[in-house]
Amino acid sequence: QVQLVESGGGSVQAGGSLRLSCAASGYTYSTDYMGWFRQAPGKEREGVALIYTRSDSTYYADSVKGRFTISQDKAKNTVYLQMNSLKPEDTAMYYCAARAGKLGSSWSRRWTDFGSWGQGTQVTVSS
């Protein structure tokens, strides 16, 4: 099992930036993918960014491409989500997730494929 702890959320005006962090502990050697998901009230949980930990390959939802960047620091067992040009529609609870094993191209809609989750960190973007 992998334990995940997010930090870095907060309130920002539209156009601003935030950086989220996700510190992992436990059986991190078994993790193949780390992802950031978000869920707004009344909406489905959706994936926004994904990193394949073995190669640093990254994947993004269309809604955040060009604005968000996922990265990892293996020495610190930490994954980051740099969020720039934030929009009010980015407002949500953001969760870090980990998965051991393969993932398909529909990963952003398959949050149940991830076995480990953090407690979430709130991001609020005002207009």
At residue 66, the pLDDT reads 98
**Rg, the chain, Cα only:** 13
Query: What is the CA angle 42-48-54, rounded to 5?
Result: 140
At residue 43, the pLDDT reads 96
Dihedral sign for Cα 117, 79, 77, 21, please: negative
Instruction: Please name which of 115, 76, 114, 111 lies closest in space to residue 92, comparing C-alpha atoms.
Output: 111
At residue 1, the pLDDT reads 84
- Cβ atoms of 35 and 94 closer than 8 Å: no
* pLDDT averaged per 10 residues in sequence order, the chain, 127 residues: 95 98 90 96 96 96 98 96 98 97 88 95 98
